[in-house]
Amino acid sequence: MISGTNHHADIDATAALNGILALLATAGLSDDQITAVTGRDPRDVRALIGSAAQPPARELSVIDRARMTLLARSQG
């Protein structure tokens, strides 16, 4: 399986592959077709859809961290 980051194109290969698999699952393919195309368990592929539906966790910005520090100092 492809994993890691292609530094030449700055693309996360695992994320790209997972996105393609999720597209296959949402395209209306049957479980047998998903298995034939991907070689993976269709439940895993369909689980990618559920995880993709959730918004990605956002990294805290410098301002967010500063706010949290100030709030913690004012409370304690």
Note the pLDDT of residue 27.
77
Q: What is the pTM of this model?
A: 0.42
Structural domain boundaries, residue 57: 5-75
Note the pLDDT of residue 66.
87
Distances (CA, A) of 20 to 16, 44, 56, 67, 71: 6, 13, 17, 38, 42
Count of the separate structural domains present in the chain: 1
Q: What is the pLDDT of residues 35-66, one digit of tens each?
A: 887 788 888 877 776 666 666 667 888 888 88
Burial of residue 33 (CB within 10 Å: 0-12, 13-18, 19+) is middle
